[in-house]
Structure 1
Amino acid sequence: MRTNAVSVRSKVLAARETRNAYLFLLPSLIFFVGFVIIPMILCIYTSFFDSTMGKDVKDVFIGFDNYINLFSDKVFLKALANTFLIVVVSVPVVAIFSLWVSAAIYQMNGKLLSIFRVIFYLPVVTGSVAVTVVWKWIFNNYYGVANYLGKATGILDKNINWLGDERFALWCIILILFTTSVGQPIVLYVAALGNVDMSFIEAAQVDGATPFQIFWRIKWANIMPTTLYILVITTINSFQCFALIQLLTSGGPNHSTDTVMYYIYYTAFKLYKYGYGNAMGVVLAIFIGVISAVQFFAARKR
């Protein structure tokens, strides 16, 4: 009888804890459903319509026409190519640089390590507008720091309009995105490297392993979950690059810095083609999902 009473009491306690947990989650769940799930469903639904969201204009069902038109839209294809270039360049560079810096500083004493983490993480917590203003001044074609240093060192003969020249504008965006993306990975890698079991490293040293072998066989293997998270988050952030484009170039010059996110904004909120813009959003979500799945598969195999 006593065992049954304890079992019943445990079930009641578990049910109460579950109920309380859901009550605590309810505000966030309402927000998530209202501002994420429902908009996602509406996005997919309206992507099959010629939708302008106008009161006097009725949405017209056009099936897959928006998706078909996307891949004959030269501006969209250009924006897609720019987006993939940003992802292909920034994701591995951010991951490799962050790992290199973290491996160099994670064994430093507390104060010095904190200083480095603050330096690298500062651009992350600084407002995007403030960061953009600073970089706009750096790349100014008349009095910018980039042109001044280039001419002072003899690299440049004359001023370059960095953000107004098709040859340089997108690479400037990638550089700025890099500086604002390395802070979080460095903090995560420092924490991950600090949690690697030292007994494995000491055993490898006794067996005569080189520093490279210790890093590759022990440290790298132990921080693989962190690497996977960094790759996925950096990939998503790179695909969703928008604020820098909006504040610095507005997609110019000649669509050379257009990204899919910016073109979605321009199409939906400037041209009022919500159905067409939502079709781009669905395509972008599919690309992000596929690439993230490939990263998960590759990391699990590793």
Structure 2
Amino acid sequence: MIQSVRPMKKRKIKGDGAWGYAFIAVALVVFAVFTAYPVASAFIISFQEYKPLGSTFIGFDNYTNTFSDALFWKSVVNTIVYTVLTVPVALFLSFAVAILILPLKKWLQTTFKAVYYLPAVASGVALSVVWLWIFDPMSSGIFNKLIGFFGISNQNWLGSSATAMFSLVFMSWLSSHGTSIIIYLAALLGIDGSYYEAAELDGASFLQKMWYIVIPCLKPTTLFLLVTGVIGSFQVFQNAYLMTGGGPDNATTMVGLLIFNNAFKYFEFGKAAAQSLILAVIIAGIAMVQFKFLGNDVEY
């Protein structure tokens, strides 16, 4: 006996479901236009000698030239040094400031959060101009005035290979902690107070509370800030470009600045695209290692 097959009815999206798909579609279009398409284009360009009026396919030449370029590896080393010196110190300073703000009244917490976050909304160019004045090699620079009290002669902080990298690192230590402070403070406020009460009943000291309660509870937050901090430091461009231009003698040339110079100074777009994809692979690999070794017992 043959049974008749009824045609399937089309599902109609109505009400809230339709609006949900509409909002998702907008996000997908934005992602496709401003993220997926540029990445795909960079991948294609990396195999070409790119020219606006006609590109030539050259295979893996841009990648082989990059791996054999001594300046590229120097920029990688500079970026790693910058990352190692800035990210851990930035996390420690943000955590310490958040701990100091925590016992204050709510209106004082809000005030300090606003003050520390203010540089994040200020113009990076304006902040760099201020730091250029601080590092001024003449006696008018604040740093040279400070060391002058100890009988030390003026230093060319940004113009010497021995001090240029330290100057950028020091600039990073004293700026741009607002976001991390706010995130740490929010995580501290989310810790259950019963943990502290139990610790006090057991006679735990302040340091013991920090080691056995605060630090374990903040491990997911710390891992998040560590991963994002490393990603941001590997993509650093503005500080090196505005403060030193990558000099002297490429002592502060970071990978991001090298990619920018290859693309918009030497117009080697294919090589710049290849280097940007290599940088993306390096960042992804470092992030995977961080999650592998630091995120085993982290629950979100």
1:17-36 equivalence runs, <5 A: 17-36=16-35
Query: 1 CA distance for matches of 2:170 and 2:47?
Result: 37
Instruction: Quote the offset at 1:150 in angstroms.
Output: 1.2
Report the equivalent of 2:6.
none
Instruction: Quote the offset at 1:54 in angstroms.
Output: 2.7
Query: 1 CA distance for matches of 2:94 and 2:187?
Result: 12
State the identity as a percent: 36
Report the equivalent of 2:126.
130
Query: Is 2:177 the counterpart of 1:164?
Result: no
Query: 2 CA distance for matches of 1:297 and 1:201?
Result: 30
The answer to whether the Cα contact below 8 Å between 1:98 and 1:185 also exists between their aligned partners in 2 is yes
Any unmatched runs of 5+ in structure 2?
1-10
Runs (4 or more) in structure 1 with deviation over 4 Å come to: none
Instruction: Tell me which amino acid in the other structure corresponds to 1:223.
Output: L
Q: Deviations over 1:109-153 (max 9, x none)?
A: 1232223222322211111011001001111111211111110x2
Report the equivalent of 2:7.
none
Any unmatched runs of 5+ in structure 1?
1-10
Report the equivalent of 1:146.
143
Instruction: Tell me which amino acid in the other structure corresponds to 2:133.
Output: W
Report the equivalent of 1:175.
170
Aligned length in residues = 286
Report the equivalent of 1:5.
none
Report the equivalent of 2:208.
213
1:39-58 equivalence runs, <5 A: 39-51=38-50, 53-55=51-53, 58=54
Query: Is 2:248 the counterpart of 1:250?
Result: no
Query: Is 2:76 the counterpart of 1:80?
Result: yes
Q: Deviations over 1:209-264 (max 9, x none)?
A: 33222222222222222112211111111111111112121111111110000010
Instruction: Tell me which amino acid in the other structure corresponds to 1:54.
Output: P
Query: 2 CA distance for matches of 1:146 and 1:166?
Result: 17
Query: 1 CA distance for matches of 2:25 and 2:260?
Result: 31
Query: Is 2:86 the counterpart of 1:90?
Result: yes
Instruction: Quote the offset at 1:270 in angstroms.
Output: 1.0
2:60 pairs with 37, 61, 64, which one?
A: 64
Q: Which has the higher helix share?
A: 1
Instruction: Tell me which amino acid in the other structure corresponds to 2:144.
Output: N
Instruction: Tell me which amino acid in the other structure corresponds to 1:122.
Output: L
Query: 1 CA distance for matches of 2:175 and 2:24?
Result: 31
Instruction: Quote the offset at 1:68 in angstroms.
Output: 1.6
Query: 2 CA distance for matches of 1:140 and 1:81?
Result: 27
Instruction: Tell me which amino acid in the other structure corresponds to 1:148.
Output: K
Query: 2 CA distance for matches of 1:295 and 1:107?
Result: 32
TM-score normalised by structure 1 residue count: 0.89
Query: Is 2:230 the counterpart of 1:226?
Result: no
Instruction: Tell me which amino acid in the other structure corresponds to 1:36.
Output: T
Query: 1 CA distance for matches of 2:217 and 2:244?
Result: 41
Judged with a 3 Å threshold, the aligned counterparts in structure 2 of structure 1 residues 213 and 258 are, in CA distance, closer, same or farther, namely same
Instruction: Quote the offset at 1:165 in angstroms.
Output: 0.7
Q: Deviations over 1:253-278 (max 9, x none)?
A: 11111000001000011111111001
Report the equivalent of 1:7.
none
Report the equivalent of 1:112.
108
2:264 pairs with 259, 265, 269, which one?
A: 269
| Larger deviation, residues 202-211 vs 268-277 | 202-211
Query: 2 CA distance for matches of 1:67 and 1:84?
Result: 20
Query: 1 CA distance for matches of 2:107 and 2:160?
Result: 43
Query: 2 CA distance for matches of 1:170 and 1:129?
Result: 19
Report the equivalent of 2:5.
none
Q: CA RMSD in A?
A: 1.8
Instruction: Quote the offset at 1:12 in angstroms.
Output: 8.1
| Larger deviation, residues 204-213 vs 217-226 | 204-213
The answer to whether the Cα contact below 8 Å between 1:79 and 1:263 also exists between their aligned partners in 2 is yes
The answer to whether the Cα contact below 8 Å between 1:181 and 1:234 also exists between their aligned partners in 2 is no
Query: 1 CA distance for matches of 2:151 and 2:232?
Result: 33
